[in-house]
Structure 1
Amino acid sequence: RKGSLFSFKGGVFPPENKFTAGMAIEHVPAPEYLILPLKQHSGAPAEVLVKPGQHVLADEPLTSPKSAMQVPIHAPLSGTVVSVAMSGIPHPSGYMEPCVKIRCDVPGEPGYGECYANPSYPDYQNTDRETLLNHINRMGIAGLGGAGFPTDVKLRSSAKAENCQVLIINGAECEPYITCDDRLMRERADRIIEGIRILQYILNPVYTVIAVENNKPEAIRELNRAISDSGISETRVTEIPVKYPSGAARNLITVITGIEIPYNARSTAYGIVVHNVSTVYAVADAVLRGKPLTHRIVTVTGSALKKQGNVEIPLGYSIKELMNHFGYTAPSVPRVIVGGPMMGFTIHDANVPVIKTSNCIIAPGEHEIERTKPQVNCIRCGRCARACPSRLIPYELYAFCVANEHEAALKCGLKSCIECGCCSFVCPSAIRLIAEFRQEKAQIKIEKIKKDRINAAKERFVLKQQRLAEEERLRAERKAAALAKIKSKPASAAASGNDAAAVSGTESELEQRKRIALEKAAAIKAARLKAKAEASGSDASAGQTVSSEAKAESPAAASAQNPDLEERKRIALEKAAAIKAARLKAKAEASGSDASAGQTVSSEAKAESPAAASAQNPDLEERKRIALEKAAAIKAARLKAKAEASGSDASAGQTVSSEAKAESPAAASAQTPDLEERKRIALEKAAAIKAARLKAKAEAEKAQSQTDTKGE
């Protein structure tokens, strides 16, 4: 409240060279193309919402955040998306990242000048704080002082703790050449005060301080006027002395409050929140007007330009095109610096876009670029240690960086380095200390990424091994449980008459079932082959069938111990032999020639041979003998009729012969009524055998299915 000031250790006093401080903010014509990197802040890029060929309106979101450290980007102007591909970004290494390229609309095209309707909260004091924080995130607000930290994340951490004591608005702008914040405070102080009111509503701080270096009297005057006009309370503008880097957040906190924040802690833990004036202005636009962060004010300076100034341009504007607008003439040693001369970096290609953290473009002339001195060995003078505002020993840190001793560099305080450039500015040996520190940080980051990947791979491997071991353990437990269950059952094989299962007490139930199923399958296969042999009427087929039966029955020999199965097989064979003999007999009776009769007798003899094993059946043998006698009687009757008919004339003989031939089957059947009865019985038996065959086929299929299931 009293405006008391403190000081921080170290610091330097470089030439200010703020040539553009008196130049008002201007605008440039709309470009033909805009290139918008997906990542323009410290965090991860958000998810892309657009695709090539899609027309977008001004202020329309192009990406959507899915996590806390993601901030969306918006279309600064209306146009058509050309591509979403890799493109160069402002980075000292020429690094490329995914970018959205937009061809801007020209006057007369449909949609030119139209804006996307984003929500706004003019009556923010009656709005929930969480709603305002989410809205600030959706409007793409990130720190515009150079770090690019998501604004909503910083505000949310302090609002959640409810311990904000001091809100500091950073208007120091200590970097040489840069004047964009100075011009913003001069021309738009009222909007900055509106943004401060919004932050005060969200954070509820005890006191608010606007810190401005005393080399900006006009900005201080305009801010004091805006404070008095708005009637805002517990807020003051504090003039701080010119000293680089007083604009760094931790150094500024020390100057205003006298508190030194450790580099392993956040200022919000001490009840202090710091925001840049450009960020506060963007918050006011987002909340009151629904305007996302699509434009920013950039200082364009350097003697290689015909004119210099401060310009408000859309994000994605090409730096090369911007420099051409200011009349760039390349010197003999061309060089383009993004940022200030102390903390900025040189880019290799000017055809890269302006992003949210780009606050200055410097195109120095030959007289502004000090000829690079040859670097010599460190003389241990200690100037860098005295100038470091972070209380580090840069020459010792440099030695560790050159030797690639990453752990030692981290212990020496590498992460505490803010890369202000004070050590390089005062080094008499012209050692590029900041360049080495930046390279070491990048190398440590790469090593950390590799180590994280290796650790993740090891963790996946360990988890896989644990999973496989657990699966093996469960498999062994299931197997042991199954074996115990089988062994605990009584020996059912002895009750079923299976001698092999009874003898082998250690044989598992599964093996017994498989063996029985195989035996049944073999028996069914033999029955099928037997039925096929019975259906064939030729002697060769009969012989092959008998041979096949003998082969097919061999796998089923083990089933001979089953008397019921063997009895059924024997009866089936006898019935099949009887049916075959009856068929051959009927065929012999139908033929009228002696040769046919002889062949029939021979065929009968051959056909009866496979059934010789059934000679022990007296009933079957008796029927066969009677059938042969009747066949001989029929043959004698035919010969006698033929001899009697040979004495008559030809026509009569032919008629008698025809009648005899036509009546011979009927005569034979009349003389042998017992034959007709046997034929009927044979047909019935054939039908019964066919039914048994179908039943055996069904049992075989069922047994085969069970066998396949058990095998699986």
Structure 2
Amino acid sequence: MSSAFDFPGGIYPPERKVRSSQAGLIDAPLPSRVVLPLRQHSGQAATACVAPGDSVKVGSLIAKREGLISSNLHASISGTVIEVNASHITIESDGKDEWQRLPRLDWCDADREALLERLRESGIAGLGGAGFPTHVKAQTVEQQGVHTLVINAAECEPYITADDATLRHYASEVLEGAQIMAKLCGAQRIIIGIEDNKPEAIEALTRALPFSLPLNAELKVIPTRYPSGGERQLIKRLLNIEVPSQGLPTDVGVLCHNPGTLLATLHAVRDGQPLIARVVTLTGDAITQPGNQWVRLGTSIAELLTQAGLEQQRLYKVIQGGPMMGKPLATLDTPVTKLTNCLIASTIEELPPAPAEAPCIRCGECESVCPAALLPQQLHWYARAQDDAKMERYRLFDCIECGACSYVCPSHIPLVEDYRQAKTRLRQQRIETMKAEHAKHRFEFRQARLAREEAEKQARREARQAQHRRSSTPSAPSSEKVDLRGLRIAHAAAKASVKKAEKTLARVAQEDPKQPLDDLEMQLATAQENLHAAELQLANARAQQPTDSPAPAPSKESS
């Protein structure tokens, strides 16, 4: 079924997918050593829970998530831990490939919390490139009213065919993973959006769809155009729904996941298999054996490309990701991570260096191709002038950094780089504002805490005096009642602050998974500490009520 809707702009760069899509999906050779970075996801790095000399199996937990936006990390080979430092864990293989799996779950019978806990345990992050922890995405949609789960199978960027290969070989499993995610988010329907340049994947999905129970899934084939895989653009093409400016798909009742993430979700739930490998596209004119491979996390990129027939004398650069949004690697002495969906080993003829930048000629080409309907030319000028107010006004943060404007610019201006630098500057300003607000809240909370403690002391003094006088009044002192009511209100406020901090942190992390979140994590930790203190104060006050007086009547605050 085709989609009748559309988004503005877009471009048609050379696809260059044929070389890697012609070969079958194979397993990469088992590495003799893996280096596993503790940060393979957006948010805080995981904290190592193993030491040098420890023996591990495939799937053993080696680093625990830290904070709200974080993800567990597991051993991808069996062997011995030989190094643990602040950035990574190194494991030497024993060649046995012995596994340690979690208990299997029947997702049809499992409740929502059991499924969420399995995602937390399994260390799954978004495999489309953003790396947002999947369990956080699942738990933050609880109150959003999600009605549609979109399987983002567009894979619109040139060269990359990892999702295509996944769907060709695991269409039924991806759909089952989508059923699990739909159950988690409460979606009533599933829509698969895929570009028409993937005929084998479309055929595999068409065969699998009749068996996608209990929820029926609908396949929508869309014309190939970059960047159809952007969440806003895909939702517009499939559902004709506009995601609001600086909003998220969940704001309009939609949740997006790519096929690799859904397959990993099924493996975690049904098979008890944590995320220890992923499908990686190996391509580019500087390798002789392009294709897609299941690669263990932590595998050396240099070794992986060498095994794929890397011609070192022809190699110009290696790009991790696609040519539009990916990044050139400074060194091949780096490991495959959860974020590595594609490695392009290019020659200089294939992806030549950009020509020197020339002055803007105001041709308007950048505006005509922008998929977010922005004004790239004006944003460029304001970014260079550091006119932050104007950039906010011209919706800088709606830019998805797809690179379409830079691609068509006849002056070869690095527009996207300008926008990234401006976003970084604006985010820093927002963080400073939030830190100031956070400091104000901490001061106010401290003042309120001191006032409550003084009220508690006064209440205890009055209670002791009343007992000393052997008062015949049956009710508790009025000051005690007032104190309890105030503590209940403070407890409710502290609880609301924690929820607000969690929501803010999750939203900011989803808007830009690459930005640092330390300050927001600290604000959440402080809110949690305040809540714990409020709970203790309330419990102590209840315990100190006079035993010879009846319990106060229930109030709205305690319900």
Separation in 2, partners of 1:174, 1:196: 20
Find the counterpart in structure 1 of residue 218 from structure 2. Answer: 236
Separation in 1, partners of 2:391, 2:240: 29
For residue 45 of structure 1, give the secondary structure of its aligned residue in structure 2.
coil
Aligned residue among 337, 355, 375 for 2:319: 337
1:322 aligns with 2:304: yes
Find the counterpart in structure 2 of residue 130 from structure 1. Answer: 113
Query: What residue identity is the alignment partner of 2:319?
Result: I
Find the counterpart in structure 2 of residue 351 from structure 1. Answer: 333
Query: What residue identity is the alignment partner of 1:6?
Result: F
For residue 193 of structure 1, give the secondary structure of its aligned residue in structure 2.
helix
1:74 aligns with 2:74: yes
Asked whether the 8 Å contact 2:128–2:258 carries over to 1, the reply is yes
Asked whether the 8 Å contact 1:5–1:257 carries over to 2, the reply is no
Aligned residue among 142, 152, 157 for 2:125: 142
Aligned residue among 226, 236, 254 for 2:208: 226
Q: What's the % identity of the aligned pairs? A: 38
Asked whether the 8 Å contact 2:39–2:46 carries over to 1, the reply is yes
Separation in 1, partners of 2:252, 2:267: 29
Separation in 1, partners of 2:316, 2:333: 14
Aligned residue among 354, 372, 382 for 1:372: 354
For residue 108 of structure 2, give the secondary structure of its aligned residue in structure 1.
helix
Separation in 2, partners of 1:4, 1:11: 16
Find the counterpart in structure 2 of residue 590 from structure 1. Answer: none
Structure 2 matches for 1:79-98, cutoff 5 A?
79-85=79-85, 98=87
Structure 2 matches for 1:546-557, cutoff 5 A?
none
Separation in 1, partners of 2:39, 2:149: 28
Separation in 1, partners of 2:437, 2:179: 47
For residue 343 of structure 1, give the secondary structure of its aligned residue in structure 2.
coil
TM-score (norm 2): 0.75
Aligned residue among 171, 175, 182 for 2:153: 171
Find the counterpart in structure 2 of residue 99 from structure 1. Answer: 88
Separation in 2, partners of 1:435, 1:417: 12
Structure 2 matches for 1:15-414, cutoff 5 A?
15-18=14-17, 19-85=19-85, 98-106=87-95, 112-121=96-105, 123-161=106-144, 163-230=145-212, 232-331=214-313, 334-414=316-396
Separation in 1, partners of 2:23, 2:83: 37
Query: What residue identity is the alignment partner of 1:36?
Result: L
Separation in 2, partners of 1:232, 1:21: 32
Q: Greater helix share, 1 or 2?
A: 1
For residue 237 of structure 1, give the secondary structure of its aligned residue in structure 2.
strand
Separation in 1, partners of 2:302, 2:269: 33
Report the CA distance shift for 1:257/1:455 in structure 2 as closer, same or farther (over 3 A).
Answer: closer
Separation in 1, partners of 2:2, 2:440: 57
Report the CA distance shift for 1:324/1:45 in structure 2 as closer, same or farther (over 3 A).
Answer: same
Separation in 2, partners of 1:179, 1:360: 8
Separation in 2, partners of 1:353, 1:440: 30
5+ long unaligned stretches in structure 1 = 87-97, 107-111, 471-712
Of stretches 271-280 and 150-159 in structure 1, the one that deviates more from structure 2 is 150-159
Report the CA distance shift for 1:404/1:231 in structure 2 as closer, same or farther (over 3 A).
Answer: closer
Query: What residue identity is the alignment partner of 1:62?
Result: I
Separation in 1, partners of 2:173, 2:446: 62
Asked whether the 8 Å contact 1:206–1:234 carries over to 2, the reply is no
1:368-393 alpha-carbon deviations (Å, 9 max, x no partner): 02342121011111111111111211
Separation in 2, partners of 1:76, 1:410: 43
Query: What residue identity is the alignment partner of 2:202?
Result: I
Find the counterpart in structure 2 of residue 12 from structure 1. Answer: 11
Q: Quote the offset at 1:306 in angstroms.
A: 2.0
Of stretches 299-308 and 230-239 in structure 1, the one that deviates more from structure 2 is 230-239
Asked whether the 8 Å contact 1:55–1:81 carries over to 2, the reply is yes
Report the CA distance shift for 1:465/1:209 in structure 2 as closer, same or farther (over 3 A).
Answer: closer
1:442 aligns with 2:427: no
Asked whether the 8 Å contact 2:182–2:188 carries over to 1, the reply is no
Find the counterpart in structure 1 of residue 506 from structure 2. Answer: none
1:234-286 alpha-carbon deviations (Å, 9 max, x no partner): 31211111011001111100000101101322222222111111111011100
For residue 322 of structure 1, give the secondary structure of its aligned residue in structure 2.
helix
Separation in 1, partners of 2:394, 2:143: 34
Report the CA distance shift for 1:6/1:364 in structure 2 as closer, same or farther (over 3 A).
Answer: same
Which is bigger in relative contact order (C-alpha 8 A, separation at least 6)? 2
Asked whether the 8 Å contact 1:141–1:293 carries over to 2, the reply is yes
Query: What residue identity is the alignment partner of 2:88?
Result: C
Query: What residue identity is the alignment partner of 2:49?
Result: L
Q: Quote the offset at 1:407 in angstroms.
A: 3.8
Alignment RMSD (CA, Å): 2.6
Report the CA distance shift for 1:464/1:259 in structure 2 as closer, same or farther (over 3 A).
Answer: closer
Query: What residue identity is the alignment partner of 1:118?
Result: L
Separation in 2, partners of 1:285, 1:465: 47
1:142-197 alpha-carbon deviations (Å, 9 max, x no partner): 11111112222222233444x33221111111111111111111111121122122
Q: Quote the offset at 1:433 in angstroms.
A: 1.0
For residue 436 of structure 1, give the secondary structure of its aligned residue in structure 2.
helix
Q: Quote the offset at 1:130 in angstroms.
A: 1.3
Report the CA distance shift for 1:52/1:443 in structure 2 as closer, same or farther (over 3 A).
Answer: farther
Report the CA distance shift for 1:180/1:453 in structure 2 as closer, same or farther (over 3 A).
Answer: same
Separation in 2, partners of 1:183, 1:100: 30
For residue 367 of structure 2, give the secondary structure of its aligned residue in structure 1.
helix
Separation in 1, partners of 2:439, 2:112: 42
Asked whether the 8 Å contact 1:331–1:366 carries over to 2, the reply is no
Asked whether the 8 Å contact 1:331–1:365 carries over to 2, the reply is no
Q: Quote the offset at 1:36 in angstroms.
A: 1.3
Query: What residue identity is the alignment partner of 1:46?
Result: A
Separation in 1, partners of 2:393, 2:355: 31
Query: What residue identity is the alignment partner of 2:14?
Result: P
Separation in 1, partners of 2:139, 2:393: 31
For residue 328 of structure 1, give the secondary structure of its aligned residue in structure 2.
coil
